Chains A and B, each alone.
Chain A
Amino acid sequence: MRRTQGSTLRTIGLSLLIIGASLFALVSVACAFSEQGHTDDNDVKVIKNSSAPLFKMGFNFSAIIDHFQSFIHNERNDNASQLKDITQNGSQSKETDISRSFILNGKSDNVSQWIDVLENESETEDNRHHAAYMLGESGDSRAAIPFIKIIEDTEEEDPLRQSVTSYMGKVGNDKHTDMLIGLLDDELLDIPATTSMGDLGDEKAVGPLMDILANESQSENMRMAAARSLGQIGDERAVELLIECLDDDSPYLKSEVAWALGEIGDERAAEPLINMLDEEYEFTVTNSAEALNKLGISADEILIENLDDRDVTVRKNSIYALSSVGGQNTHSVLLEIAEDRTEDKDVRRAAISALGRSEDHDMIDPLTDIMEDENEKKDVRTAVPRALLNIDKDKAITILVEDLSIENMEVRASIVSSFRKLEEDRDKVPMVIEPIGYLLQNDEEWPVRKQAAIVLADIAGEDASGYLDLALNDEHHDVRSIAANKLVALADRNSTYPLIKALNNETNEYTRRYMTLALVQTNDSRAVPTLIQLMQDREEYLNVRMEATEGLGTIGNRTTSRSLMEILKNKDDSPEIRNTAAVSLGQIKDPAAIELLTKIADDEEEYPAIRQSAELSLEMIQGAKAS
């Protein structure tokens, strides 16, 4: 139908063209016009050639054609930007090359290479973002020009332009201040530009930043960024305005303003900052206390007074602030709160955490007493293990391992959970593996066993696999599921039989999938019969069958090919499973599969994806055969 319409219209066009050209030729004999220059282009070559005799006769309408041509080109170029180029014989290659990021880290001139990545539009978005980040962190001025190009290029992805704008202050200099000021009206880039001006530190930006901060119709985020940048620049002109903003309704803005006032260090801010110490928002109080500290004023006394406030939030915030700025003399006050059974449990937990951060060894015994006291609230007791580990890991481990026999289940679980902190201090890990492993096998409460499985796998790695193998038969599903999940990365040959046994009993889809993946991870040929059975079982979960079929490609051998070929042959079976079988046959590289793979690859009624997999597998087998 469209072909007919197109042909008719084409005929009309052609007729008009002939008539028009004939009339024009006659008239142009009597007319004389000056020639105009024009540019040439392949797309309109046919049109220009047809008018060539007329030029000789004195008429040149190339200017009109050029205008027409430019219209066409504009239209087509606009379209072109939206078009997807496809390469010959297939789709374009846009592979992510994250690994390159790591390679570049080791090169001597990283900056120029990161610039290459940033400027290369065929790079993935992630790589270009990472390059922008690395350039920003480098602080190298060579990044400024590429950054500006991206900021100015509206065709670039918005997130990349935003990132680059926010890093501009780290690589730019005073010459770039005006450009950043110009971006304050850009809805997309205004906040990153505001942030960037703080990094740039040019006093020229103070006026525009103060305008933003003073303007209550600006967004909260924009005003917060302006306050922080004013603090970074450190210009005293902003002090009065910042003090006024301490009365703003936004707690988040007030928190940033308090920080900025601390950075500027002007004494006029002292009184207003003291008034902020009973605010509701935790960071406003902490930032105000820290700002006062920078002004040389201790906030300890006022914060300790606030510990008697009726409001729980004020008391908690005062503890957080004391934890940040308080001296040694405040520890006894915090301990009093931690021990005070009439105090709110959250306030007591905050005090225990603060004492942990104090790293004061004198606090170990009293905190241990709290944890071991069966009459204490469990919510208070469970805050202690982590605090003890913050103070002194060695001493804490000794105490905590002994206390794994504490009757309260939540306290035991919190002790186990706190050992995760040893991830940052791996040489201490062997001290806790056995006690946690014992709990994993013997604790009566499944939440403790679950925590034990999680922590053991996270801190002990491969040393945990034996314990996790045993946990595969735990009576509680959550414990089995965690053990299987962790074994996906940790299983070895010793895990093979425990996994096979567990698969016989497990019913949960996700846990079965983890177990299958872990079985593949063992890389043990003894796992092959079970994987084949899982693959062949049509009543098995599809995901489990898929993992088993894929796994056979990884750990299978030529004896496995027959089963894979049976699956691939069977058109009644799931195409996903058959496709995976085709891929696995390629990985095993058994020449016996060539005939079947060839047949599948040539079968026009087969799924294209399966045909493609068969072709790739054939190439792999033939390549292996040839070598």
Chain B
Amino acid sequence: MTGKKYSFSNIVLGFGLMFLYLPMFILVIYSFNASRLVTVWAGFSIRWYGELFRDRQLVDAVITSLEIAVSSATSAVILGTMAAYLLNRYGRFRGRTLFSSMITAPLVMPDVIIGLSLLLMFVSLSTSIGWPEDRGMLTIWIAHVTFCTAYTTIVISSRLREMDISIEEAAMDLGASPLKTLFVITLPTISPALVSAWLLSFTLSLDDLVISSFVAGPGSTTLPMVVFSSVRLGVSPKVNALATLIIFCVSLAAFVSWWMARRADRNQRAAYQMMGRDQ
């Protein structure tokens, strides 16, 4: 059964991978096109990359996005570690079912619903208790932490489940406090999962358009919002150049995440963890 090289499924796999990569490949090639017309090839040039860095609005948006991504990834990892600990080490407690469905629901919930509900929440809060005064980086951060936590919890949970619980028990038997056990035993053991979870949240936060558009205020424009408004006007070589840079950075982050997870346990779970899907 494994012998057939040109079976139907292998051919579909080949075409499927081509289908996944070809569009991005074309995008990368055309970002080096000298012509302003996107369809005509007029020789190799990196002028669009130069124009990219001169675009003040774009550079500002990149900085805003990076700040939000770093802070929400960090917070989501902390919150996700707590949630994963809660789901794996605490046995049954009141509201466990409610909690685990609240944690997994953002994985499939459409972005428009999450975005709208959070915005209405912020508006209601600010009219009733006066906080948050303005919508901006803070509200985007809260929104991103909320949906990233769903992913980090699953990545960290799957690692925590595999970990040998007897090491923790041994440490506690020898007199280590729960907190010390956490910092000396548990966290170092699951650190590869923490890194993957951080990188995953980082890319998710960097990529989010819909939720950010709802909860953002004036003066807090993120990169996807700038890209979206220029993309709606059509294809432009500058966006191609930007896309190429994004593809490059993300591939690098994904590779690092995969490599870290793979080094930790050399089996295929590593790759699932990368996606935050523990199946």
> Do the two chains belong together in a single complex?
no
Interface residues of A (CB under 8 A from B): none
